[in-house]
Amino acid sequence: MKRINNIKIYDDLDNENLIKNICKKYHIALNDIVDWHIIKKSIDARNKDNIHYLYNIAIQFKSEKKYKKFDDYKTFNFSTITNCNTSIRPVIVGAGPAGLFAALTFIKNGIKPIIIEQGKNVEDRKKDVDTFLKTGKLNTNSNIQFGEGGAGTFSDGKLTSGINSPLCQVVLKDFYRFGAPEQILYLAKPHMGTDNLIKIISNIRNYIIENGGNFLFNSKVIDFDIKNNKLVSVKYINEGKEYIIPTSNVILAIGHSSRDTFYKVYEKGLLMESKNFSVGVRVEHLQSDINLAQYGNKTKLKLPPATYKLVYHDKETGRSCYSFCMCPGGTVMASSSEENTVVTNGMSVFKRDGKNANSAILVNVTPADFSSSNPLAGIKFQKDLEEKAFIAGGRNYFAPIQKLGDYLNNSLSFEFGKVLPTYLPGTNFYDLNKILPDFVNITMKKAFMHFDKQIHGFANPDTLLTGVETRSSSPVKIIRGVNYMSNVEGIYPCGEGAGYAGGIMSAAVDGIKCALALMENNK
């Protein structure tokens, strides 16, 4: 096949008219085309007077010699099939993206994994999340953080990542295979939306079960039997009863909020270290204001809700502040997983048709900021902020909220402006300066003024801040070697919770890598 890059398109076109337009532009005879597909589609909005789409496409011609002026389209197919011992039954702890894609990799190789998940299946999990949002009744095992699909299920379903791995294509194709929209295969910034994710996760689970895998929901791993530095078995609890699964292979894909498990594996002697993470708030603007700032008001294109990605580096403090997990047309979500804490996150459905845009605005935290050198000290740092937010919100899982103008001026008012909060179960006006550390407040205030120069109106006084966001990534790293194994033989730290990923895509890729390594180590 041949490829054509950076094709500028100034209209909203369906595929039939798109290829006709391209043929006319590049003097291609339509009947010379055997097949074609979009490789990539993006929006170029750098010049608001000249906004357009950019396409990269691949075309198969009847005769390539006739169109030798175009570059060859080279693809790299990465196989996840390997020669392995199919008699092993690995245990996967956690059914987030890392755990599920490890399980899919095993299934593709004829291995039947056992997946242990402390939360519920995704359908029942959604019921618990809805109950919490309506009533403030928290299920500490089934919530935004815990349950089938992991924390990313109730997010925007972004599939962007900073990693450059051929496995990313494996992940995209599998998500599409299990029900994701086809556009994730070519959009520059693909997303699935939480409404699609719930169906996709269910389809993945059913496929794994149909092919011999087992899911143990409502089952929390509470211990690991280790003898002579080798894993022997895993103990879990379900409805008050303890069970033991003999196994010499565990993929530990526990997610960034499984604090009990962090403490347990530290107790069992797995090597761990503190790592950097970030804390801050969720910011809300009217999506229409973000659209105007990013697209202007001249384009006639039917553009999707606008996104942004912002970074500020403070030379005085040495800190960075950045936007994270931007959710166009989304909702600020109550994401607590422990009693008497308030945690926020962001979520969008696939259409991204909500009134508000939201994003985390975060400042980096390092182990030097923690109260001790213990590898688990970052957990205490997070929890202290979450408990302060719980008290500030009214001790009922309402979130503390403040208008940006008040936050910048160290003041507090009690009426909303043009932006209304989306967070449920509810909000309470509070001075967020009193919750966040001084270094976070100092850096974040400078960042807002810097961001306002990039996106006009970003620092509008009516902009809403909801506190606190503390679970941007894991506070620990569980050390593993080149064979992906921890210092305890048979335990494979995996995904975001172990400190090796940061989002759905990178976690899924790490799940595949760990499964491949486990199979290689058991040949």
This prediction's pTM: 0.96
The string over 407-427, giving b where at least 16 C-beta atoms fall within 10 Å of a residue's C-beta and e elsewhere, is bbeeeeeeeeeebebbbbbbb
CATH architecture, domain defined by 2-72: 2-Layer Sandwich (3.30)
Q: Is 479 exposed, middle or buried (0-12, 13-18, 19+ CB in 10 A)?
A: middle
- pLDDT computed for residue 431 by the predictor: 98
DSSP 158: B
Q: Which residue from 341, 281, 330 is spatially nearest to 472, judged by alpha carbons?
A: 281
Distance CA 186, CA 168 (A): 12
- State the average pLDDT over residues 487-503: 97
DSSP state of 448: H
Average of per-residue pLDDT across 118-127: 97
Would you say 342 and 467 are in contact if contact means Cβ atoms under 8 Å apart? yes
In the chain, which segments carry CATH 3.50.50.60? 91-273+474-521
The pLDDT score that the predictor gives to residue 362 is 98
Compute CA 45 distance to the chain's CA centroid, rounded to the nearest angstrom: 25
The stretch 100-120 carries a mean pLDDT of 98
What mean pLDDT do residues 476-482 have?
97
- Is the pLDDT assigned to residue 519 strictly greater than 90? yes
- CB 387, CB 438: distance < 8 Å: no
The string over 437-465, giving b where at least 16 C-beta atoms fall within 10 Å of a residue's C-beta and e elsewhere, is eebbbbbbbbbbebbbeebeebbbebbbb
* Whole-angstrom distance, CA of residue 523 vs CA of residue 24: 55
Rounded CA-CA distance 325/320 in Å is 16
Residue type, 162: G
* Per-residue pLDDT at 322 exceeds 90: yes
Query: For a pLDDT cut of 90, what percent of the chain falls above it?
Result: 97
CA quadruple 442, 445, 447, 449: dihedral positive or negative? negative
- Give CA–CA dist 199/97, Å, rounded: 14
Identify the band that residue 376 occupies on the pLDDT scale cut at 50, 70 and 90.
Answer: very high
Cα(310)–Cα(382) distance, rounded to whole angstroms? 23
Q: Residues near 378 by Cβ (< 8 Å), separated by ≥ 6?
A: 274, 275, 277, 365, 367, 370, 475, 476
Q: What is the pLDDT of residues 166-177, one digit of tens each?
A: 999 999 999 999
Host H or E run for residue 250 = strand 250-252
Rg (CA), the chain: 24
User: 93 with 254: CB under 8 angstroms?
Assistant: yes
Main-chain phi, psi angles of 17, to 5 degrees: -75, -25
pLDDT for residue 76 is more than 90:
no
- As a whole number of angstroms, the distance between CA 90 and CA 110 comes to 12
Task: Identify the band that residue 317 occupies on the pLDDT scale cut at 50, 70 and 90.
Answer: confident
If 0-12 CB within 10 Å is exposed, 13-18 middle and 19+ buried, where does residue 164 land? exposed
91-273+474-521: what fold? FAD/NAD(P)-binding domain (3.50.50)
CA quadruple 153, 355, 288, 357: dihedral, nearest 10: -30
**pLDDT at res. 104:** 98
Mean pLDDT across the chain:
97
394-444 pLDDT, tens digit each:
999 999 999 999 999 999 999 999 999 999 999 999 999 999 999 999 999
Place of tokens 């399980």: 103
Q: Coil, strand or helix: which one is 492?
A: strand
Q: Which ranges in the chain are annotated with CATH 3.30.70.2700? A: 2-72
What whole-number distance in Å separates Cα of residue 336 and Cα of residue 322? 22
- Alpha helix segments (H runs only) across 239-362: 259-267, 287-295
Enumerate helices (H) and strands (E) in the chain, giving the number of each: 11, 23
Query: Does residue 75 register a pLDDT over 90?
Result: no
- Number of Cβ within 10 Å of residue 396's Cβ equals 11
List, in order, residues 6 or more apart from 118 with CB less than 8 Å away: 141, 146, 218, 219, 220, 221, 258
Instruction: Give the span between the Cα atoms of 420 and 443, in whole angstroms.
Output: 25
14: Cβ contacts below 8 Å, ≥ 6 apart: none
User: Which pLDDT score is estimated for 444?
Assistant: 98
- How much is the pLDDT for 441? 98
Beta strands in 270-408 (DSSP E): 272-274, 277-286, 311-313, 320-327, 331-334, 344-347, 356-365, 399-403
pLDDT tens by residue, 132-189: 999 999 999 999 999 999 999 999 999 998 898 999 999 999 999 999 999 999 999 9
Distance between CA 244 and CA 113 in Å, rounded?
Answer: 15
Element of type H or E holding 78: none
Q: Single out the residue of 85, 87, 107 nearest to residue 512, CA to CA.
A: 107
How much is the pLDDT for 162? 87
Q: 344-347 and 272-274: which strand pairing? A: unpaired
